[in-house]
Structure 1
Amino acid sequence: MSGRIYSIIVLTAAVVVVTAAALPSELVNDRLVNKHVERSIDLSSQLVKISAKVTLENTGDAPVKSFLVAVEPEAKYKLALLTAKDSNKRELRVVDTSVTSQPDPKFARIELKDPIQPAKTLFVTLDYVFTKSLTPHPSTISQKDKQLVRYHGNHYFYSPYKTESQKTTVTMGSKNVENYSKLKPVSLTDSTITYGTYENISPFTKDDLSVHYENNSPFLTVTQIDRVIEVSHWGNIAIEETIDMFHSGAALKGSFSRYDFQQDSLSGASSVKSYKTLLPASATGVYYRDTNGNISTSHMKVKKDAVELDLRPRFPLFGGWKTHYTLGYNVPSYEYLYHSGDQYLLKMRLIDHIYDDMAVDRVTTTIILPEGSTDIKVTTPYPITRHKDTLHHTYLDTTGRPTISFSKSNLVENHIQDFQLRYSFPRILMLQEPILVVIFLYILFLCVIVYVRLDFSIHKDDHHKE
């Protein structure tokens, strides 16, 4: 009997240990409380930008080194970026994680610089950027109609912790508001809706927030970017981008009238006539072309910190319309390529600024290194998908140039950050191409000499005989 009781006790203890290990400590107990939350939701562009200023309180008796952030199940695939800062404006590390008891929401763990001591509070700012969260309604409009969109969110701050008080401000950038949800207390002033203050909100509480309003900002979505970076140790780095772009706003209903578009300034209010692309300040040899050739309607302006391109497609982009073009330029290698002996470091942007409030579905970056490069290591500021390394063959190559490729999905302007690529390259190999050129010219001249000295004629004339 005693052995049976001992087995039951051991089994029960094992179940308790497994259960506790499956849940993060922040959810096992209720030490953390959102003392106050102040949210601001920016709906003035095609992106949804949410900033939450959270005052966390530790009601337990032990320090807390991290806390969890949750995103609603219906919005987790639209989340492009999540960043966190403390009261001293220091960036906090954000780590994706999961919770066994809550498989549907998306969770992230925020690691604090300084632990929250018992009975103390900490101020944290959380910034979210969501793509494809605004739906055109109606989905089709005529050339003279204005574009109306709908946003669906949450009246409450979605969190795994209890929220004692919360206030939300929604900014739309337009005074034309068709309809909005009215969870009291609520007020509308010009283009701003204020919700709250709401008190004593339970964890994981959801209540639909909806806004139907006018939004004629550019709804441009880059569906694919193929970015090729070719590195040369002779002082130049060539960059070429092939871009597929789509107007994801309300589709154009009926035919397009060029006459009405040029005569009426209100015609095609939601269409995109041009947009500004920013390149590095040292960019030279810029070209911009589509399948028909060079697009001469674009303009370039050289500034101190960037080269500004005013890209104007051959036709204005209405809802449902697409464009495809290639943009290329050169930059000096000494600004981005560093070396010590045979060790090299390439530090460049993973993606450039295409237009304000840009939304990119997918970017594929391909880096072509000089022939003979080895020990290649890539470091990126955020997770990427690394593809299989290949070889690129071009002139004066023997074995081929190592090619590294990786991709990233759902990008916004905040993803304009530098990656680092380290590799080894014996500097003696820089003589390979000049030697190949010399050998080729030597063989060419030798063949010419042999050709002019040999007589390949079958019959010799009489004058030659004499």
Structure 2
Amino acid sequence: MMACTSAHHRRRCLSNVKSVTMPVTTKILFCIVTVLYIVIKSESLSVDNISSDVKFKNVDRTIDLTSQLVKITSKITLENSGKSPVKNFLLAVEASTKNNLAFVGAKDNSNKDLRIAETTVKGYDNVKFWRVELKETLNAGSTVSITTDTVFTKALQPYPTAITQQEDQLVKYTGNLYVYSPYYVTSQKTNVVINTKNVESFTKIKPFSQQDGTIQYGAYSNIAPFTEKELSVHYKNNSPFLTVTRIERLIEVSHWGNIAIEELIEVEHTGAKLKGPFSRYDYQQDHHSGPASVRSYKTFLPASASDVYYRDTNGNISTSNMKIKKDSVELDLRPRYPLFGGWRTHYTLGYNVPSYEYLYHSGNDYLLKMRVIDHIFDDMQVDELTTKIILPEGSTGIKLNVPYPVTRLADSLHYTYLDTKGRPVITFKKTNLVENHIQDFQLRYTFPRLLMLQEPLLVVGFLYALFLCVIIYVRLDFSIHKSEHHKE
């Protein structure tokens, strides 16, 4: 091999090395990937600034700890102390609680939902921000009333973590005494609702007061942005601590007048675990035995639901009751055994609804409008939801519109009787859901109406071919010689 002594030879050697280490096609692919990455990152991430002109003049906050969920409602008086108009403002959640946040929403003084979107602020990587768009521009020196709602799951910790069958369940809440805000707060109050007089301990920072099932804090004045002070409440809470660890929701659409819905639900009691043995005799004789256990719960289905079935691996569960109301069908579901802390169960729930209530069409264009998830039980929390929508065979131009961000999985095909190409299946996943997520999705697709004749024609064709084969078979003669007829 020739040594690279001269400058010309060094340039030639260097070019040869480059061509060996990175071919031209690799360079092109690398450049394309880099450009796409930059474009996607710039579009998916929005960056905002914290305006010094915006202030929270007054905040009246309520922390509801009566169930297994932590629901915080804040009535905010927003003030524009600057000289230029304000079109939006920011909400923030502490780094310690952002992983437990399931829902955040905002409404104006007319109780209309405000548009809200997740955003980022430079220098605050550990804080979760949302930008709230105001219905009308807030002029300089003006104020407006806003109500925000946040729901946290698994924010109440059983303390102690294990109890006997006869003991009450004690839980501990740890949060922020002040409103975690990116803006200066002039005055604020906090009401903690627990609906029990059995309080083991709570944070005592003056001014505060305790009355029945409520602890009141404040008013506190002139709170700086991003101020944190621990708020702790240790109290009795025997409400059902049920968690749907996984639910698979299957929606099968038929253009012949029916939509079949089936849900595979896995439930776990996530409260204080049962310590010691379980006595079925004591549980049945003493109504106060197992105060933290779950005997039954109510599920609400659409008012038009019919052919409802409720079963587990052992078969149909006949202890359930169904009550038809004006706007819903109420199911009183009773598992085969009571659920204590750490116990699990799973079951299948299915029903049918008429397609005319959820499926709209204009020519060959169809619109399916249904709920992402139904009401499973009061104050529900769902770890993971997978929704599968099976459309009729031949559906094309599928477009999914969801009310909140979900993870869209790869489309697949579902085969059943009389299918030739398979039915398209649209699948998406969502984690950490609560009742606020009971909202409608929209699925648009195109389906030629002539394809509805495909299955009847296949049946007719199959029967015609079958009868034709029978006729041919009867008329065929497979005998070796003809039988002789004797004359009389």
> How many angstroms does 1:87 deviate by?
1.4
CA offsets 1:54-95 (integer angstroms, 9 cap, x no match): 111111000000000000001111111111111122211111
Match of 1:183 in 2: 205
> How many angstroms does 1:369 deviate by?
0.4
State the secondary structure of the residue aligned to 1:273.
Answer: coil
Q: Given residue 396 of structure 1, which amino acid in structure 2 is its aligned partner?
A: L
CA offsets 1:172-201 (integer angstroms, 9 cap, x no match): 121110010111111111111111111111
1:348 to 346, 356, 370: 370
Match of 1:86 in 2: 108
Q: Any residues of structure 2 matched to 1:14-25 within 5 Å, and which?
A: 24-25=48-49
Is 1:69 the counterpart of 2:87? The answer is no
Q: Given residue 112 of structure 1, which amino acid in structure 2 is its aligned partner?
A: L
Is 1:169 the counterpart of 2:207? The answer is no
Q: Given residue 104 of structure 1, which amino acid in structure 2 is its aligned partner?
A: N
Match of 1:383 in 2: 405
Match of 1:42 in 2: 64
Any conservation in 2 of the 1:387–1:405 contact (CA below 8 Å)?
Answer: yes
Q: Any residues of structure 2 matched to 1:249-398 within 5 Å, and which?
A: 249-398=271-420
Any conservation in 1 of the 2:71–2:151 contact (CA below 8 Å)?
Answer: yes
CA distance in structure 2 between the partners assigned to 1:240 and 1:444 by the alignment? 35
CA offsets 1:252-300 (integer angstroms, 9 cap, x no match): 1112111000111111111110101001111111000001100000011
Q: TM-score, normalised on structure 2?
A: 0.88
CA distance in structure 2 between the partners assigned to 1:391 and 1:23 by the alignment? 40
Any conservation in 2 of the 1:22–1:100 contact (CA below 8 Å)?
Answer: no
CA distance in structure 2 between the partners assigned to 1:203 and 1:308 by the alignment? 46
Look at both structures and tell me which one has the larger radius of gyration over its CA atoms. Answer: 2
CA offsets 1:383-418 (integer angstroms, 9 cap, x no match): 111111111111000000111001111111111111
Q: Given residue 24 of structure 1, which amino acid in structure 2 is its aligned partner?
A: D
> How many angstroms does 1:448 deviate by?
2.3
> How many angstroms does 1:442 deviate by?
1.1
Match of 1:436 in 2: 458
2:427 to 396, 405, 408: 405
Q: Given residue 382 of structure 2, which amino acid in structure 1 is its aligned partner?
A: V
> How many angstroms does 1:107 deviate by?
0.3
Q: Given residue 422 of structure 1, which amino acid in structure 2 is its aligned partner?
A: R
Any conservation in 1 of the 2:402–2:440 contact (CA below 8 Å)?
Answer: yes
Q: Given residue 469 of structure 2, which amino acid in structure 1 is its aligned partner?
A: C
Q: Any residues of structure 2 matched to 1:107-122 within 5 Å, and which?
A: 107-122=129-144
CA distance in structure 1 between the partners assigned to 2:481 and 2:295 by the alignment? 73
CA offsets 1:327-386 (integer angstroms, 9 cap, x no match): 000001011101010000001111011001110111111000000000000111111111
CA distance in structure 2 between the partners assigned to 1:389 and 1:457 by the alignment? 56
Match of 1:158 in 2: 180
Q: CA separation of 1:403/1:23 partners in 2, compared to 1, >3 Å: closer, same or farther? A: closer
Any conservation in 1 of the 2:296–2:333 contact (CA below 8 Å)?
Answer: yes
> How many angstroms does 1:119 deviate by?
1.0
Any conservation in 1 of the 2:398–2:446 contact (CA below 8 Å)?
Answer: yes
CA distance in structure 2 between the partners assigned to 1:458 and 1:351 by the alignment? 70
1:204 to 226, 238, 241: 226
Any conservation in 2 of the 1:277–1:353 contact (CA below 8 Å)?
Answer: yes
2:168 to 146, 152, 162: 146
Q: CA separation of 1:443/1:169 partners in 2, compared to 1, >3 Å: closer, same or farther? A: same
Of all paired residues, the percent bearing the same amino acid is 66
Match of 1:448 in 2: 470
> How many angstroms does 1:311 deviate by?
0.4
CA distance in structure 2 between the partners assigned to 1:338 and 1:121 by the alignment? 43
Q: Given residue 450 of structure 2, which amino acid in structure 1 is its aligned partner?
A: I
CA distance in structure 2 between the partners assigned to 1:459 and 1:395 by the alignment? 45
State the secondary structure of the residue aligned to 1:358.
Answer: coil
Any conservation in 2 of the 1:73–1:106 contact (CA below 8 Å)?
Answer: yes
Any conservation in 2 of the 1:23–1:101 contact (CA below 8 Å)?
Answer: no
Task: Compute the RMSD of aligned alpha carbons.
Answer: 1.8
State the secondary structure of the residue aligned to 2:125.
Answer: strand
Match of 1:102 in 2: 124
Is 1:124 the counterpart of 2:124? The answer is no
Any conservation in 1 of the 2:242–2:268 contact (CA below 8 Å)?
Answer: yes
Match of 2:34 in 1: none
Q: TM-score, normalised on structure 1?
A: 0.92
CA offsets 1:13-66 (integer angstroms, 9 cap, x no match): xxxxxxxx99634x1x41011111110000000000000011111110000000
Is 1:31 the counterpart of 2:53? The answer is yes
> How many angstroms does 1:453 deviate by?
3.5
